Amino acid sequence: MYNELPAKENHSVEQALLHDADLAARCADLLEAQRYLDALQPGPSDRAVQNILQYSRTFLRAE
């Protein structure tokens, strides 16, 4: 999935994927999930940040 195997082990996995349709289908599902996860926004939305800032301002006014 992340190309982290040594070449010999990578070749073994590739051979297993070629000969096991169920394994290949599960691998394809994992690769699709990986693409979706990689596309996720890594931080809070602008709206969430604004809500937090607005909430924190209520403490500044209370003093």
pLDDT digits (tens, 9 = 90+) for 1-47: 778 899 899 999 999 999 999 999 999 999 999 999 988 878 888 99
Q: How many domains does the chain have?
A: 1
Which own/partner contact pairs does 40-47 have at CB distance under 8 Å and 24+ positions apart?
none
Residue 50 lies in a domain: yes
* Domain residue limits at 16: 7-62
**61 vs 12, which has greater pLDDT?**
12
Q: Considering the domain boundaries, does residue 11 fall inside one?
A: yes
Judge contact between 18 and 25, C-beta under 8 A: no
In a domain, 1, yes or no: no
In a domain, residue 33? The reply is yes
In a domain, 2, yes or no: no
